[in-house]
Amino acid sequence: MNRIYFDHNATTPVDPAVLEAMLPYFSTEFGNASSIHTYGQRARAAVETAREQVAALIGARAQEVVFTSGGTEADNHAIFGVVRAASAGRPRAHVVTSAIEHEAVLNSCQALEQEGVAVTYLSVSREGRIDLEELVRAIRPETLLITIMHANNEMGTVQPVEEIGRIAAEADLYFHTDAVQSAGKIPVDVNALQADLLSLSGHKIYAPKGVGALFIKSGTPVKQYLYGGHHQRGFRPGTENVAAIVGMGKAAEIARIALRREAARIGGLRDILEQGLLARVPEARVNGGGAPRTPNTTNITFSGIEGEALLIALDLMGLACSTGAACSSGAVEPSHVLTAIGLPPAEARASLRFSLGRGTTEDQIRAALEIVPSTVGRLRSISPTYQKHSSRG
């Protein structure tokens, strides 16, 4: 069976060129990047090259990039770091975010609430976009930070981040954006976004798991989040994972060079898949399809079935996709993203995310257009919920 992988928003395979760049740092180039001898100097040089490569992907300066263990740590460091630094000596603090953020942001904000920080969770439209007027109304004298993701992990919806950055700058607020799902898929420029902090994850751009990065604009106050040595200019202590960092740097370089070409190719395949499924599957609807989206992502509701059952059935047929965020796999609650756009829980549970990637081919799309409709039809034929719904129609 030739398996089909349509879950690139969960993770991507390590690019062969990335693996090749990493391999020496598991063996001959084993030095500690903080050591001053030749072994350490070579490791340090590799880390700094990677820092430059990541910075180039997002239009930053190398000294503004801090390597982390992944996107979750980057989000936590950004949110806790800037709020705790900027709120020092102030009686009150307030943060603005959205209802459809990744759990790394939502749970960080909820933790801040337990510390007495007020948080406003902006609603989103049926297409998954915030209302800029609501954002402006949410700003208070005690507001310190706006944290809004660039692209949503479940629907691919792209937020109006340039306008958000402008609003934050005009109000003299710090602006953080989680760009984990946008980097490498659409252009990301910290200057155009007027971002003060921006989070990245290696394993979403064909680098290994366990490495990420946080952009911290020069001059942005960020309180220390971890304690240890003076690595990475004191922003993030701990011996650098040189091999993974080298991999992320190489992946960022490849993504920057291939971005426009791959975005056009993958976007075309996504559209064929999406339009084909809508034509072949009755009562299928795209979530967020009317908004700007990352070119690789489509989220589709297949009314009358359980998404988890469909996911398992498709996997048995050789097609891997997702019911939503990989971090939430096995959760009994419907997607907080899909309920936030107004889907009833049953419809949210009947939705699947297909996220394409560099290895996706036209043959795979054609195969999926046979597998998915037939599998949906089979599950609907034995679904009491769907049969009841159909008889009413």
Q: Is 327 a catalytic residue?
A: yes
Residues linked to residue 4 through DSSP beta bridges, in sequence order: 319
- SS3 (DSSP) at 172: coil
Please give the angle made by the CA atoms of 158, 164 and 169, to the nearest 5 degrees. 150
Please identify which of the residues 45, 316, 327, 331 carries the catalytic annotation: 327
Cα 134 to the chain's mean position, in Å? 24
**Quick count: other Cβ atoms within 10 Å of Cβ 95?**
28
> Hey, what are 257's tokens?
């060079």
Question: How far apart are alpha carbons 2 and 146 in whole angstroms?
Answer: 45
| Nearest by Cα to 200 from 188, 98, 163 | 188
- Closest CA relative to residue 297, chosen from 71, 13, 6: 6
The helix/strand/coil state of 293 is strand
Q: Regarding beta strands 118-122 and 65-68, do their DSSP bridges make them parallel or antiparallel, or are they unpaired?
A: unpaired
Half-sphere exposure of 148 (CA within 13 A, CB side): 31
Q: How far is CA 229 from the centre of its chain?
A: 29
Q: How far apart are the C-alpha atoms of 150 and 180, rounded to whole Å? A: 8
202: exposed, middle or buried (C-beta count within 10 Å: 0-12, 13-18, 19+)?
buried
Tokens for 299, please give them.
Answer: 């989220």
Note every long-range contact of 327-335, with CB atoms under 8 Å and residues 24 or more positions apart, other chains counting. 327/102, 327/103, 328/103, 335/154
Catalytically active residues, by annotation: 327
